[in-house]
């Protein structure tokens, strides 16, 4: 008899204790935690999807009492009120590029926060100097923003994440399965979360333990994107 599979994982924890430190992110973590000494009061985090930018932004928000918002929301934000928070993180900040209102909003937010000795964090896949903004004054300020680069997760980081994700679900897996998965999966933390969820769901649905054949079947199947 097939079991009903209820995939109800908790959202990923973005606490400092759950951040896995590896060569790909150690320097960025140290820079974020040294936020009181950021040159010019600002920092950009640049790295591919799944490299840990959002986790680091939340770590900083918790430590510094910062507010987070997406770059796409800047055009409609109350910039004066936002700047009054003194510590702000803008995620996917290059989304302002090409939108004159959003570019002006980021320009004013940048100036207001730094004029009062606050702190500004920007995150994106690319360094700020490469964002195609049209406002020259904003472009010059972005070009002068110190940047901490994150690399795609290495084998050690992906292995640690997979082990924790399975443990969080109380799923026992053969030790040899972890390096086997790391060698074949998409190299991102988001992909790790999705893959573990799909493997767990399939094991529950089929009533069998997690194994290499089961993991292989999941890896060979496209994710269910829903209707």
- Hey, where are the domains in the chain? 23-149, 153-219
Instruction: Say if residue 115's pLDDT is above 90.
Output: yes
Instruction: Read off the pLDDT of each residue in 114-140 and give the average, rounded to a whole number.
Output: 97
Confidence of residue 123 (pLDDT cuts 50, 70, 90): very high
Instruction: Say if residue 9's pLDDT is above 50.
Output: no
pLDDT at 8: 42
What radius of gyration, in Å, describes the C-alpha atoms of the chain?
Answer: 20
Whole-angstrom distance, CA of residue 127 vs CA of residue 149: 8
- Contact yes or no for 75/99 (Cβ under 8 A): yes
Average pLDDT, the chain: 89
pLDDT at 15: 72
Topology classification of domain 23-149: Rossmann fold (3.40.50)
Torsion angle defined by CA atoms of residues 29, 14, 84 and 96, in that order, rounded to the nearest 10 degrees: 80
Q: Report the share of the chain in percent with pLDDT over 90.
A: 72
Topology classification of domain 153-219: Helicase, Ruva Protein; domain 3 (1.10.8)
Confidence of residue 17 (pLDDT cuts 50, 70, 90): low
Close Cβ partners of 19 (under 8 Å, ≥ 6 residues apart)? 25, 29, 52, 55, 56, 59
pLDDT at 10: 47
pLDDT (tens digit per residue) in 43-85: 999 998 878 899 999 999 999 999 999 999 999 999 999 999 9
């Amino acid at each position: 008899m097939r079991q009903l599979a209820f995939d109800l994982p908790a959202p990923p924890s973005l606490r400092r204790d759950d951040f896995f430190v590896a060569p790909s992110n150690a320097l960025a973590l140290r820079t974020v935690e040294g936020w009181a000494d950021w040159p010019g009061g600002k920092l950009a985090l640049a790295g591919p999807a799944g490299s840990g930018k959002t986790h680091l932004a939340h770590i900083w928000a918790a430590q510094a009492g910062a507010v987070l918002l997406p770059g796409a929301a800047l055009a409609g934000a109350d910039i004066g009120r936002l700047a009054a928070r003194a510590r702000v993180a803008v995620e996917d900040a290059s989304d302002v590029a090409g939108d004159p209102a959003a570019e002006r909003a980021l320009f004013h937010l940048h100036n207001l926060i730094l004029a009062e000795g606050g702190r500004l964090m920007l995150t994106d896949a690319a360094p700020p100097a490469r964002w195609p903004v049209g406002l020259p004054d904003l472009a010059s300020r972005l070009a002068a923003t110190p940047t901490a680069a994150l690399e795609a997760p290495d084998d050690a980081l992906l292995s640690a994440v997979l082990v924790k994700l399975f443990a969080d679900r109380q799923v026992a897996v053969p030790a040899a399965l972890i390096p086997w998965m790391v060698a074949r999966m998409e190299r991102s933390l988001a992909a790790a979360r999705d893959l573990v969820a799909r493997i767990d769901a399939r094991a529950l649905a089929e009533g069998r333990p997690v194994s290499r054949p089961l993991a292989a079947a999941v890896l060979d199947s496209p994710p269910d994107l829903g209707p």
